[in-house]
Structure 1
Amino acid sequence: MSIQNKTAIVTGGSRGIGAAIATRLGKEGFNVIVNYAGSEVAAEKVVAEIEASGGKAVVAQADVADSAAVKRMFDLAESAFGGVDVLINNAGIMKLGPLAQADDAQIESQIDINLKGPINTMRVAAKRLRNDGRIVNLSSSVAALKFETYGIYAATKGAIEVLTGILAKEMRGRGVTVNAVAPGPTGTELFLDGKSDAVIEKLSKANPLERLGTPEDIANVVAFLVGPDGAWVNGQVLRANGGMI
């Protein structure tokens, strides 16, 4: 896919992996919609960084669990840049604990943002993404690793992987690819929050490269998938985890 005059929506683009993806795509030449739910200042900072490197970007406030807000975000992208070519489903939350102790709020919040959110964006993108576009869903390697205490979070990510393969088939004839990227332990606020130094050290040594991933590591994989070199990859889950599994 030629990048010239292409537009990408990055959900959860104000921080962590989302910010790294938004910044990388802006430097690659995409117009970028930096989505955020509540971190407007952080989202504006990402836009400023993209613009400083010569790119174009705007912020878009939207709770991806709200289907009407998602449609307004696509409207904004089309108004600002003429259309949408790439959707990056990055927005997500993680609340850990044994399944037996999960309360309704913990379950519902993760399903709303991690699963319902991408469903909302994908069903709009399936209709409104321009031909030869790209959809990349952020999953997680814990969907395959099945770590204790990650049950609800991993379940939402496993569902995203299934939806990725199905939507790839449903987009037949449009030239649109749909893939997922499943990071391993990555040094973000979402991952580090609540973990002891000992746990972080253990997880950083779990892969053969013996380090945590960085947001930029994941952004590099996404940039490949949405760029011209990723055109023949479709319906796949790329486990970007340093060989952890």
Structure 2
Amino acid sequence: MAVLVCGGSRGIGRAIAAGLAEPGGTVFINYAGSGDEAETAAADVRARGATAVLVAGDIATPAGAATVIERVRAVTDRIDTLVHCAVTTVSGPVLEADPRAFLRAVEVNAMSLLYVVQAALPLIGEGSSIVFLSSRGSRVALKDYASVGAPKAFAEGLVRYMAVELAARGARANCVSPTAQDTDAFRAVFPEDHEERLAAAARNSPSGRAVGLDDIVGTVRFLASPAASMVQGQVLVLDGASTLAA
């Protein structure tokens, strides 16, 4: 099985890259940041018996996404699972945001999904699964979170349209939307109170605990499996019922 994780060198992406690694499989780890972090993520994949291929590159432009996919095509003629975890942040009120910085966030957090899927179409076929990592901020206005939440809302809409078009290929596209996770991006958006926000997410969960990385990885594995072959264009919310309780 061939897996491509965009933004797979740290945080949720790193956990998913390792979680989708299987003996004999290949996991492509796309990253645009630290090479050391990418090597650590690759070691996690190799420890599970899979081949890890590091693919540095910025997927937030059509040309950059095409270059990343060309490197993937040099190794495989098929992508079984493509997971988009790439994210960047611009903290602060949206009405005070620098337009150029905010546009960059939209390109990384949303448009790059379109660019990479368009480039990867020749490798996407029967049974292929695309998974976009979304966020509660796509549905509610969280303080200082617009640079992540608004693009992810846009990307969720893209996924619905992609799902309809991919269905004819026997492929599918869906979203996974977990509650707050302790990632670099989360800390960057909420530098002053990220610990309290994480604690509140656990405290407010009727399930008695916060959503963890294992929960996210398990859901992505389900969406990548034949059991999810008829799940199309959906947003699977992982919240332990915390957003349902009054």
Q: When the two structures are superposed, what TM-score results if normalisation uses the length of structure 2?
A: 0.90
Describe the superposition over 1:18-52 as per-residue Cα deviations: whole angstroms up to 9, x where unpaired.
00000011137641100100221111111122112
- Counterpart pick for 2:112 among 114, 117, 120: 117
Q: Could you tell me how far 1:57 is from its partner in structure 2?
A: 1.5
Counterparts in 2 of 1:28 and 1:177: CA distance versus 1, 3 Å? farther
Would you say 1:65 and 2:63 are equivalent positions?
A: no
Structure 2 residue ranges without an equivalent (≥5): none
Which residue does 2:240 correspond to in 1? 242
Aligned-pair CA distance for 1:186: 1.2
Change (3 A) 1:187 1:242: farther
The answer (yes or no) to whether the contact 2:172–2:231 under 8 Å persists in 1 is yes
Matched to 1:181, the amino acid is: V
Moved more, 46-55 or 153-162: 46-55
TM-score (norm 1): 0.90
Cα gap change, 1:29 to 1:219, in 2 (>3 Å): farther
List runs of 5+ in structure 1 lacking aligned partners. Answer: 1-5
Q: Deviations over 1:37-79 (max 9, x none)?
A: 0221111111122112211110000101122221122222222
Corresponding residue of 2:10 = 15
Q: Given residue 224 of structure 1, which amino acid in structure 2 is its aligned partner?
A: F
Match among 33, 36, 41 for residue 46 of structure 1: 41
Query: After superposition, where does 1:158-173 map in structure 2 within 5 Å?
Result: 158-173=153-168
Name segments (4+ residues, structure 1) moved above 3 Å.
27-30, 197-200
Deviation at 1:15, TM superposition (A): 0.2
**Aligned equivalent of 1:208, options 195, 206, 209:** 206
Which residue of the partner structure matches residue 86 of structure 1?
81
Is residue 34 from structure 1 mapped to residue 29 from structure 2 by the alignment? yes
| Deviation string, structure 1 residues 150-190 (Cα, Å, up to 9, x no partner) | 22321101011111111110123211011011111112222
Relative contact order (C-alpha < 8 Å, sep 6+): which is higher?
1
Q: Following the alignment from structure 1 to structure 2, what is the Cα–Cα distance between the partners of residues 24 and 162?
A: 26
Moved more, 70-79 or 206-215: 206-215
Count of aligned residue pairs for this structure pair: 240
